[in-house]
Structure 1
Amino acid sequence: MKDEIEALMSAAGVPGFSMLVLTEGREDVVTSGVASMSTAEPVTSQTLFQAASLSKPVVALAALQLADSGVLDLDKPLSHIVAPMVPGDPLGAAITARHILSHCTGLPNWRCDECPLRSYFPPGSRFSYSGEGFVYLQSALEHLTREPLNTLVRRLVFDPLDMRQSSFVWRPDFAARVADAHEAETVLDRFMPREANAAYSLLTTAPDYGRFLAASLHGSLLTQGMARQWMTPGPQVPLKRTEALEREMQTLEEGVAWGLGWGLDTQAGGFFHWGANPGARAFAMGIPARRSAFVMFMNGDNGLSLVPPIIQSVLPGEHAALSWLGLAS
């Protein structure tokens, strides 16, 4: 497999790669390339990568544990806990944790001049992917627990799963092992988050995230009922689009829905998520019935092009999620 991966990396211009594959309880790590084109330091199993949006399922597991313990009500408007995300927006005042975890808030992915922060449709009515929603959830979780997000997630997820090389904020000991992001052949400024962001700031290794994947396969750290909710299909997603804020009814993608933090490839019976920060890409998928999962991290902006052929090597079959994300060949 490593020869195939190196050929794919060369064709895509991806400098470095790290993957963990879980198969029936067995773990295999594959690494290739360099952590930075500026140093040519080789990627190892202990190289840290940006998880990007693979941060979101980790935060979801912490939130669901708080729901299990009665600290968080998934269906109570978060405006009852913290100030509304958008002052004076009555629709936004109704946003719940469940809406955020299933990407049904009506909020944009990220605010910008062309897409200001407001509710574009009633929460709960349909899917539109939103990082802003996870930032709002973070504020509510921090208020409820009186803990910063990284401290909370370390207590509820990292420590129980022995994820010792994972953090939503920069640690000095990461400096010698972190992979730099690349856009084409340009090495970007090092990603060193000083404040946690629930949507994208996780730094981790493939073996560490593999422990989280194992927990996702088995519903670890949750009650049986909450573990089922985590992976129960909710809203279907719009055809070939992650963000859809228009008022018009959207054509829906067959075989792809959203649970409570994970995307669900209902056709394959699996869960998935992707990540895209500037110059860094990530992808994870698991199929509980096969007791198998994998996560891959790439430090190049064309990294997701590696996903389709690698999936067919580790989790062969039809995957509607790839078509939805525009990755199907």
Structure 2
Amino acid sequence: MATIREGVLHEVRHIGVRHMRTTDPVDADTVFEAASLSKPLVAYAVLHLVDAGRIDLDEPLSRIVPAVIPNDHEAAAITARHVLTHTTGLPNWRREEYPLRIYFPPGSRFSYSGEGFLYLQSAVEHLPGEPLDNLMRKLVFEPLGMERSAYTWEERFEENFAAAHDDKGNAYEKFKPSVANAAYSLHTTAVEYSRFLVATIGNSGLSKPIHEEWLAPQAHVPVGRFEALESTPPETDPGVAWSLGLGLEVETGTWFHWGSNLGASAFAVVNARSAFVLFANSNSGLSLVPQILGEFLPGDHPALSWLGLS
């Protein structure tokens, strides 16, 4: 876990072991799976492309790459803004219960979607004609000094990485992505992710209008769940909204995001000039969040209720 106070790195804590079998201790250089904390960094990179005039937030992505669903006029209308605010109308991930299709008009309401980020990835990769990892290195990792971060597995990570575990401490086979996935494949350290959080607080490298729009509320989330694909719009949570890539506790202006891969958990929060990021190599890692958040930022946190953590 890394904490930020007054806009600068304040403290790094590394507790526990990388693997239950070897009991090698976690340290500041241990690489963790960021899971869905991958998405905010991709959003940040896309906003740099917006600032550079390479992509328009409100231009259909189908003008860059084919629509995510062929011959579907609603799918052809999906924009980068729809993806970043999770208002595409796509499921989180295609599956038997929810095959890949548009479930409500894009832009009309929130339903969390990893599929949307994959579609956006295809568009941003098409613009420069290079893979996501290269783009992220140029736009995010190098400017922020994130040297031990990548969306694909690198051999140099072998020397110090956190293995994923179930609730009983049994290790899963390590996820080593050979192809980048904008929604969940980032590997990084708590210290390096904290450098991105510092960018959300201060000098992000974005123009002032884009920085302000980045963190402004765009859509309220459904009560008690992140995916809502039914035809009838669900009741929304007045306390929790989504910006261009981050969750937002509306009343306090606290931004957050969570992540959960198989055997790996992550959580990040930013309020004013304070922030923290937590990585855990266990399915149960998010159970640590309420106590830590309560001590770090005392007060009511509707995000915890929305995520089922309180």
The normalised TM-score by structure 2 is 0.98
Displacement of 1:191 in angstroms is 1.4
The question of 1:81 aligning with 2:64 is answered yes
Alignment of 1:295-310 (within 5 A): 295-310=277-292
User: Taking every aligned residue pair, what percent have the same amino acid on both sides?
Assistant: 54
In structure 2, the residue corresponding to 1:103 is in which secondary structure? coil
Residue aligning to 1:14: none
Corresponding residue of 2:51 = 68
Match of 2:122 among 130, 135, 139: 139
Which amino acid is the alignment partner of residue 74 of structure 1? L
Cα distance in 2 between the residues matched to 1:186 and 1:279: 9
Aligned-pair CA distance for 1:114: 1.1
Is 2:188 the partner of 1:204? yes
Residues 114 and 219 of structure 1: is their aligned pair in 2 closer, same or farther, counting only changes over 3 Å? farther
Kept in 2, the 8 Å contact 1:268–1:318? The answer is no
2:162 corresponds to 1:179: yes
- 1:159 is paired with a residue whose SS is helix
**Mapped pair 1:165 → 2:134:** no
The answer as to whether partners of 1:219 and 1:227 remain within 8 angstroms in 2 is no
Asked if structure 1 preserves the Cα contact closer than 8 Å seen for 2:9 and 2:194, the reply is no
Counterpart-to-counterpart distance in 1, 2:83 and 2:120: 7
Deviation at 1:219, TM superposition (A): 5.0
| Aligned counterpart, 1:292 | 274
Residue equivalent to 2:212: 228
**TM-score when normalising by structure 1:** 0.92
The yes-or-no answer on 1:279 pairing with 2:252 is no
Other-structure match for 1:94: 77
Mapped contact 1:107–1:132 kept (Cα < 8 A): yes
Contact 1:267 1:319 in 2 (8 A): no
**TM-fit CA distance, 1:88:** 2.1
Alignment of 1:99-110 (within 5 A): 99-110=82-93
Q: Deviations over 1:167-189 (max 9, x none)?
A: 00111010011100001222000
Asked if 1:31 corresponds to 2:14, the answer is: yes
Aligned-partner Cα distance in 1 for 2:72–2:269: 36
> Residue 244 of structure 1: which of 211, 222, 228 is its match?
228
Q: Supply the distance in 1 between the matched residues of 2:64 and 2:131 (Cα, whole angstroms).
A: 16
Q: Distance in 1 between matches of 2:204 and 2:233?
A: 37
Structure 2: how far apart are the matches of 1:92 and 1:241? 23
* Cα distance in 1, alignment partners of residues 205 and 230 from structure 2: 38
How far residue 246 of structure 1 moved from its aligned partner, in angstroms, is 0.6
| Structure 2 unaligned regions, length at least 5 | none
Contact 2:2 2:9 in 1 (8 A): no
SS across alignment from 2:91: coil
Q: 1:94 to 1:219 in 2, by over 3 A?
A: farther
Q: How many angstroms does 1:27 deviate by?
A: 1.9
Distance apart, 1:26 and its partner CA? 4.2
Decide whether the 8 Å contact of 1:268 with 1:317 is kept in 2.
no
Runs of 4+ in 1 over 3 A off after TM superposition: none
